[in-house]
Amino acid sequence: MPVVALAQQDGRVRWVGVLMGSSAEQSESQVTAFEQGLHGYGWMEGRNVRIDYRWAAGNTDRIRANVAELLSLNPDVVLISGARLLAAMQEATRVVPLVFVATVDPVAQGFVASLARPGGNATGFSIFEFSVIGKMLEVLKQLAPHTGRVALIFHPDNPESIFYMKLLETAAPSLAVKPIAAPVGDRAEIERAIENLGRDPNSGFLVPPDIFLSTHREMIIQLATLHQLPAVYSGPVSVRQGGLVSYGVDSVDLYRRAAGYIDRILKGAKPADLPVQAPTKFELVINLKTVRALGLTIPETLLATADEVIQ
């Protein structure tokens, strides 16, 4: 039986909620991948499925309102981006099936009982593999070998920042750098943190996945340029907008894969029985113009492994 027929066989329109931490513009490629994935399983908007989106757009105060709005629609399943949003949704319901994307160590954060057997109403796709912070630091040192102090920029309310910082502290000694915690809660604190780093010419910083940091992406890139600081970002969008380099999980791939779990749940599967999946695709993106502007020399070995090079 064709997949479209399988998706439509009982004639009922299914309801899918999507809760995103970013804005619609910032998430366009991820949403497109998700919807294309659903189409591949026979789910067509307006025919046999309805999709309702809510966007926090980096405003953490909007999250609880978005959760309440989506749950009031009685969705069959909700796709959720990020730990903050997942925590708020699980506080509100332990019944509605949830599929998460872009979450770090869901077991340690209490979202699931185990990766193999989640056991509750949530399962999904982790955006993080624990070697990523070490790899981001390694890339920074390859591009700027003089760097001796590396800060991790993070929002203090992000429950995942503690994981990022521990990983930086673990990786730092082998690369002869001093790890620095740089919590930032607003634009003034971002400016202050990067300005302080800029006073030491041997400094650099890492920007991990975070709703708040994504919202202030342009400002962070501009400040890094202003203070001549090498920085490694978690996603390629930052590099396309002028950032130096990014290394991280291919988030578009995760959203495409998430469509498969949404499909299975709509057909009767339980999140408790679907194992949490780890990322399988990673991207290295380099901006050569920024490399030159910072007076850096890119090693040929690093250039050869890049997935995208921006001239």
- In angstroms, the Cα distances linking 207 to 60, 99, 231 are 19, 25, 7
**Averaged pLDDT score across all residues of the chain:** 92
pLDDT band at 9 (very low <50, low <70, confident <90, very high): low
pLDDT number for residue 110: 92
Residue closest to 85 by CA, chosen among 54, 116, 52: 54
Tell me how far apart the alpha carbons of residues 103 and 277 are, in angstroms, rounded to a whole number: 11
* Contact yes or no for 150/206 (Cβ under 8 A): yes
pLDDT at 4: 43
Task: With residue 152 as reference, give the H or E element that holds it.
Answer: strand 149-154
Question: Two tokens at 101?
Answer: 């994307």
Which domains are seen in the chain, by residue range?
3-128+250-281 (3.40.50.2300), 132-249+283-310 (3.40.50.2300)
pLDDT at 10: 63
CA gap 47, 58 in Å, rounded = 32
Q: How far apart are CA 204 and CA 140, in angstroms?
A: 8
How far is 86 from 88, CA to CA, in rounded Å? 5
Task: Yes or no: say if 211 and 84 are a contact pair by the CB < 8 Å rule.
Answer: yes
Of the chain, the percentage scoring pLDDT greater than 70 comes to 95
- Rounded mean pLDDT, 60-89: 93
Those residues whose C-beta lies under 8 Å from the C-beta of residue 203, and which sit 6 or more positions away, are 147, 148, 149, 150, 151, 197, 229
- Residue 12 to residue 3: CA distance in whole angstroms: 15
C-beta atoms surrounding 141 within 10 Å: 19
Mean of pLDDT values over 22-41:
92
pLDDT at 23: 84
pLDDT tens by residue, 208-238: 988 889 889 999 999 999 999 999 999 899 9
